[in-house]
Amino acid sequence: MLRYALLFALISIVAGILGFGGISAATAGIAKIFFFIAIAVFLLFVILAITGINLIS
């Protein structure tokens, strides 16, 4: 998930440099969404690891 966030951030930067403002803003928004999803999943796994809950039985 974090890989997709970085990929869309890179596409956003390149599009911004080339002058494609709309595409740059759209891909930056997608990158932000993927980043926050990755952070949420990470925090979920940390909480599950601390509490000792095993999802794979």
Instruction: Quick: pLDDT tens for 5-47.
Output: 999 999 999 999 999 989 999 999 999 999 999 999 999 989 9
- How far apart CA 48 and CA 22 sit, in angstroms, is 39
Q: Which pLDDT score is estimated for 48?
A: 87
What are 9-20's pLDDT values in tens digits? 999 999 999 999
* Inter-residue contact 15 to 23 (CB < 8 Å): yes
pTM: 0.77
* Inter-residue contact 16 to 24 (CB < 8 Å): yes
Question: For the chain, how many residues are written?
Answer: 57
- How far apart CA 26 and CA 38 sit, in angstroms, is 19
Domain ranges of the chain: 2-51
Is the model more confident about 53 or about 51? 51
